[in-house]
Amino acid sequence: MKKTIITRREGLAGAGTAVAAIALGGHDISAGTPAGHFDQSNIQWYTLAGFDHVWYHILKVDPDAKIVDLLLKFAANERIVLHRHHADYSTFIIQGELRIYSADGAIQEIRPTGSFVEKPAGGAPHTEGGGDTDCIAWFSNRGTDGMIYEILGPNDETVATLGLPEFKALLEAQEAPVQAFVPD
C-alpha cells in the first residue's frame, strides 16, 4: 500500500477549513470575549509578616533546576516593599495590571492583563503594586540557588532576603493544593 504524504502546509490548510467551519458556527463565546476576573476560589493565599499589600501562593520549587514558580497578588492602588531581583524572571499578568515604580516613586512600567515579560537578574531597586483592581501575576524565577529577592530598607540597606531554601520552606508549609481530577 502506498502512503500519501502531505506537507505541513497542506495538512494545516485542510484542518483549517474544518476548524473555520466550526469556529464560524453559532457559538456565542469567542477567544476575544473578555472572561472577567480570574476565579481564585481554589487558591489559598498566604502572607509574610512585614510584607504589606501582597499575597503569595507558591506553585513549585525545583532546587535541581533552580526554579521557583509562584502566584503573587498585589493590592489595588498600593505598593509593596522596595526590593531587587537576583534571579532571571518571567511574569505573566493574569488579572489587572502590574505597576512598577522606581525607588523615588516614579512609575516605570505598566504591565496589563495578558502581558508576558522576561527580565534578567539585577536591575534597579523598585516597588510594585496593582492598578485600579488587584493584580494577579505568575512569576517564574530561574537560574539561581542563592538569593532571589533582596528586600531593602529606606536607605537601600538589605533588611531581608528570600531564596530557594525559604521558598521551599514556604511551599512545604502551604496546605495541599487543589489537584486535577482525572475521570475513569
pLDDT tens digits, one per residue of 20-77:
333 344 445 556 666 667 899 999 999 999 999 999 999 999 999 999 999 999 999 9
> Which pLDDT tens digit goes with each residue over 118-140?
999 999 999 999 999 999 999 99
13: confidence class by pLDDT, cuts 50, 70, 90:
very low
Q: Using a CB cutoff of 8 Å and minimum separation of 24, what contacts does 170-174 make?
A: 170/46, 170/56, 170/58, 171/58, 171/60, 171/61, 174/44, 174/46, 174/57, 174/58
